[in-house]
Amino acid sequence: MEKLPLRVLACGDVEGRLETLFGRVRAIQSKSGRFDMLLCVGDFFSSTSDAEWAEYRSGAKKGRRGLFSGTSGLQIAYLSGTESQDEPTPAYSFSSKDVTELKSSLLSTLNFKGVDILLTSPWPRDVESFANSPGEIDTKKCGSTLISDLAASLKPRYHFAALEKAYYERLPYRNHTVLQETPQHVTRFIALAEVGNTSKKKYLYAFSIIPMSLMDPAELVKQPQDVTENPYRKLRKGTQKTKVLGCAEQEETACQFFFDLKKHQGKKRSSDGKDRGSTQTKQAKKPSQPTGPCWFCLASPEVEKHLVVSIGTHCYLALAKGGLLPDHVLILPIGHYQSVVDLSSEVMEEVTKYKSALKEFFRSKGKRYVLFERNYKSQHLQLQVIPVPLDYSSEDIKECFITQAQEQQIELLEIPEHSDITQVVHPGTPYFYVELDTGEKLFHRIRGSFPLQFGRAVLASGALLALPQRSDWRSCTASRPEEEAQASAFRRDFQPFDFA
């Protein structure tokens, strides 16, 4: 039997303007047909509401929180009012106790996967993290952390809020950790303006939805192309950390990753055999000390400083010795870090700046870059950045890497664009990683041996740059004067793009 979607209208702050609202709804239905329901969030009552609302205003009748389950199977969770620290909680307010009890009542349900819709008045705090900006609204100051916690736990497919007199449709975000948890549905957060506002900001949102309980599981968890990381990731990790049982403190790291470091390729479970989400929290790290001479620590006498082309606060750029091409460069941390996963947030931020600058630089020359890292038999992080003609699409490049990996029985997994590699592995894990300037990423967890020149060999192959004779850097070394000339030329050309 065909599952017909429900047609729903969601509305922002009504503020007592019932005639304006229902006049608009009637106009929409006359053009687009009937809708199954109208949902309202935010400030519904005006300051001069009719007597019929008196019992609700006084708190004699309450509708503070709960779950509405329709005959269609649609599930709508709701939390009324604004956050209050007072006890007892005033009418039209909610407290942490309300949130805890609403979460408990739903999460205790057998096989709970989430709700179809969540309705709250305030925005969730930090909802814009990893996503498009809501304009003038500062989500680090407005909204409620309790709402963020509620949304992180209930995993609604749609979350509506109001109160900020603004319309904001956030990019959808995922509710699972990539490559560590079973894929789940995404959440779409939509904030709506007030009814009849003079700025013509959107206050009605129309959408169709098939209840989650009726959907094919594979269809439900499909990820849209613009999906982002979960904005409440830190909250989720903190919550999950309190739930990890049976692990002594010193054993926690071994229990928190789906990639079992002791098992064969393809296993994605924790070491105790039970599926869990990652509880790792990224800590600010100081550079470790090299165990011997390091060719890449900038303060080291071993560094060939004539190849350096830009120096930032935490990172620097240098031409690759024996580069595949004259403009083959490396992004390197100034301090001693082994891999991207080890980097502190400050260093990572500057790595990102260098990637953005190199993207603009190479695009100005009709090229795009391919970046790869091999965290295997190397003690200092080296991000290899090699330009290829724009004629090669990102799909061409990914296909080339995947095809040649398969020939060598190397499994390359694609990581979604808005994820980052720290969600996949922890420090000390050997891996190979490819990133295109579009943000697309490929990843291989190294177990056993790995061809040291793999990334370079793929780019040098006939399918891409057709320079097979340059696949090994040792056969491409140049004299010191040649290297100095190449570095000088790159430094001059890159200067307009160099933020450092």
Asked if the model's pLDDT at residue 150 lies above 60, the reply is yes
**Residue 474 gets which letter from DSSP?**
G
- pLDDT of 471 reads 85
Percentage of residues in the chain with pLDDT exceeding 90? 55
Q: Where are the beta strands (DSSP E) in 281-430?
A: 308-311, 315-319, 329-333, 367-375, 383-389, 413-415
Asked if the model's pLDDT at residue 288 lies above 70, the reply is no
- pLDDT of 364 reads 95
For range 293-311, the mean pLDDT: 77
2 pLDDT band, cuts 50/70/90, is low
Q: What does the alpha-carbon distance between residue 391 and residue 366 come to, in Å, rounded to a whole number? A: 9
| CA angle (465, 325, 338) in 5-degree steps | 105
160 pLDDT band, cuts 50/70/90, is very high
Residue 160: phi and psi, rounded to 5, are -110, 140
The conformational region for residue 100 under phi > 0 = left, psi -120 to 50 = alpha, else beta, is alpha
- pLDDT of 252 reads 29
Asked if the model's pLDDT at residue 53 lies above 90, the reply is no
For 334-352, write each residue's pLDDT tens digit. Answer: 888 889 888 888 889 999 9
Q: Which two tokens stand for residue 168?
A: 């904001």
398 pLDDT band, cuts 50/70/90, is very high
| Contact of 195 with 171, CB cutoff 8 Å | no
- Which H or E run contains 309? strand 308-311
Q: What does the alpha-carbon distance between residue 170 and residue 189 come to, in Å, rounded to a whole number? A: 5
Percentage of residues in the chain with pLDDT exceeding 70? 82
| Contact of 326 with 490, CB cutoff 8 Å | yes
Q: Which residues pair with 366 in a beta bridge?
A: none
Q: What is the DSSP string of 250-312?
A: GGHHHHS-SS-TTS-TT--S-TTS--------PPP-PPPPPSS--SS-TTSTTS-GGGEEEE-
- pLDDT of 56 reads 57
Asked if the model's pLDDT at residue 237 lies above 70, the reply is no
- Among 150-164, 329-343, 409-423, the range with the most confident prediction by mean pLDDT is 150-164
Asked if the model's pLDDT at residue 248 lies above 80, the reply is no
Domains of the chain, start order: 6-238 (3.60.21), 305-497 (3.30.428.10)
- pLDDT of 481 reads 92
For range 3-9, the mean pLDDT: 90
For range 377-382, the mean pLDDT: 87
For 186-228, write each residue's pLDDT tens digit. Answer: 999 999 999 999 999 999 999 999 999 999 999 999 888 778 8
Q: Which two tokens stand for residue 282?
A: 């990224």
Asked if the model's pLDDT at residue 119 lies above 90, the reply is yes
- pLDDT of 282 reads 42
> Cα-Cα-Cα-Cα dihedral of 424, 425, 431, 432, to 10°?
30
Residue 39 has a CB neighbour count (10 Å cut-off) of 16
The answer to whether the bond into 224 is cis (omega within 30° of 0) is: no
Pick from 93, 169, 95, 80: which is nearest to 131 by CA?
A: 169
- pLDDT of 228 reads 86
Across 58-67, 72-81, 136-145, least confident range: 58-67
Q: Which residue has the tokens 């398969």?
A: 406
For range 118-140, the mean pLDDT: 92
**Residue 144 gets which letter from DSSP?**
B
Q: What does the alpha-carbon distance between residue 12 and residue 200 come to, in Å, rounded to a whole number? A: 13
- pLDDT of 265 reads 34
Mean pLDDT of the chain: 83
For range 76-97, the mean pLDDT: 87
